[in-house]
Structure formats: structure tokens, C-alpha cells
Amino acid sequence: MAGQQDKAAARSGARLWTGFRFLSAGLLLIWLVLPLLPLAIWSFAKGWFFPDLLPRRWSLRAWDYVFSDTAGLFDSLGQSLVIALAVVLVSALVGLPAGRALGFYQFRGKQLVELIILAPLIVPGIAVVMGLHSLFIGLGLTNNLAGVMLVHLIPTLPYMVLVMAGVFANYDIAFEQQARALGASRIQVWLFIMLPSILPGLIAGSLFAFLVSWSQYILTLMIGGGRVITLPLLLFNFANAGRHDITGALALIYILPGVIILLIMAGYLSGRGPAFGGTGRP
């Protein structure tokens, strides 16, 4: 029977598809997790030399040191966190209205504006910061937190603005009119209509901005002038010094926010409702 053959073919096709999905999930896991494995091993190793597959002697020395006062982990962690949070806040405050304008309105030169917003992602950070350095010295914005926060905005703002523009392109302003028609004031419309609509996108954009700030190295080094030691700078110091064990331990702490954020994002990106918010145009 042709129908039964079709069904059998469909079944084996589905089985093949499931198998393929498991395979790709497995490969992805290996791709993401395997490179981290040596870091974890190093952090517990007391010397690990070729051609040994695993270290001969294990030790908690690196972890002891990392959590001691001399390592400076907690200072760096604090500075990274303060900078990243401030950068996220400012990015959101700028990115929200900018994204709203880009998402809603058609205006002359819009494509040019979008290109200019993207430019910091195209131009290498080191080139930008070379040019900015003397200006920042003149303004007294080097060697301090404020300058580092400001320079971190260069790579974070494009992400925030573009994510928010995407959210607002998918947001129907008629809902705001309807809320007005039902007696909501302007502030109430922002609070009860706009904010819940864009919240998933705002969270996604903020997490992006956080990670981008968290992982800055060259911008922090140049503008912070060695006074502002964020976690990547600390990490690089030990890597440069050849302390693979301490580097391994610090790196594991360093990637922790990324892993947490990935888990949060997975909820948003797994197809539950509109990934980046918006109310959807009817």
C-alpha cells in the first residue's frame, strides 16, 4: 500500500532527524565545553607536563591563592561588576529612545544613521581608543572608573540600540493609543504598556551589553592606565606570568556570568513566545 509506505518513510525520516539533532547537540556541547576542560584541570594541577595526559600531582594551591587577599580577585570582580552594571544602565537609557526612533520612524538618512551606529563594531577598538586616548587625558578621564565606563559604551551601545530597534519594529504603537483612549496618562502608558511589551528585549539587550563590557580588555587597559584592574586584566597578568594554574582558576570564575546569562537567555531564545518582545503587529 502506497499510504503505508509513505508513513513508514515519514517515520524513518523522523528518526533520522531526531538522530541528527542529538548528534549536532553533542557536537555543540563538545565544541563549547571541551576547551574549558583544560582550564579546570589546570586549576587543580601541581605541574602538568607533556606528554602526560593528566597531571601527576593534584593540588588546591591555585584556588587557595585566588581567594587570598594578595590575588586581588575581589577588587577586580567588584570593579568589573560596577563598570558593567553602570554601562548596562547607561546603554539602556540611551538605547531605548534611540531604538524606539529607529524602529518606528522612517526618516531621511536612516540607513546612514544605522551604519554609524554599527561603526564601532566594524572599526577595531584599539584604533578607536588610540584616537580617544589623548582626548580622554585632556578631559581627565584616564586612570579612573568614569573614563573606563564611558569607553565601554562604544562597543555596548550598538548592541543595545540594534536590539531595541528590532523590538520596536515589532511593537504596535496603536496599543499605546488604545491605552490613552482608556484613560492612561503618558507615564502610565510607558509603565504599563511599553515596558511590559519590550521587557524581554530589554533584558536580552542588557545581557549582551553586560557581557560585552565584562569581556573588554584593550579599552580598559588603555583608558584605565593600569589603575583600573578589571577581571580580564587580572587574568591576563597571570597568563602572561605563565601561571597556568591560577589562570585556569580565574578563568573559571570569569566565565561564570556568561554561563548564567546563557542559561537565562536560553529561556528567551528557545521559542517561547516572541523572543525579543514587542506586541506583534496585527
Partner 1 sequence: MTQVTLANLSKTYSGQDRPALDSLSLDIRSGELAALLGPSGSGKTSCLKIIAGLMDPSSGDLRFDGQPVLQLPPERRGAVMVFQNHLLFPFMNVADNIGFGLKMRGIDKAEIARQVAEMLALVRLPELGARRPAELSGGQQQRVALARALILRPRVLLLDEPLSNLDAHLRLEMRDLIRSLQQELGITTLFVTHDQEEAVMLADRVALILEGRLKQFDRPEAFYQRPADKATSAFFGGRNFIPGTVTSGRFESASWAKLDRSS
Q: Measured from the CB atom, is 136 or 168 closer to partner 1? A: 168
Q: Measured from the CB atom, is 42 or 268 closer to partner 1? A: 268
In the bound complex, what is the minimum distance in angstroms from residue 26's beta carbon to partner 1?
A: 36
Q: Measured from the CB atom, is 86 or 167 closer to partner 1? A: 167
**CB 250 within 8 Å of CB 234:** yes
H-assigned helices in the chain: 2-33, 37-43, 61-66, 73-104, 110-122, 125-138, 145-169, 174-181, 186-189, 195-214, 218-224, 231-240, 244-254, 256-269
Q: Measured from the CB atom, is 138 or 282 closer to partner 1? A: 282
In the bound complex, what is the minimum distance in angstroms from residue 180's beta carbon to partner 1?
A: 5
- Is the bond into 51 cis (omega within 30 degrees of 0)? yes
Q: Measured from the CB atom, is 98 or 167 closer to partner 1? A: 167
Under 8 Å CB-to-CB from 228, ≥6 apart: which residues? 79, 83, 143, 144, 145, 148, 220
Separation CA 145–CA 129 (nearest Å): 16
In the bound complex, what is the minimum distance in angstroms from residue 88's beta carbon to partner 1?
A: 23
In the bound complex, what is the minimum distance in angstroms from residue 73's beta carbon to partner 1?
A: 41
- Interface contacts to partner 1, rule CB under 8 A: 172, 174-175, 177-185, 188, 192-193, 196-197, 279-280, 282
In the bound complex, what is the minimum distance in angstroms from residue 261's beta carbon to partner 1?
A: 23
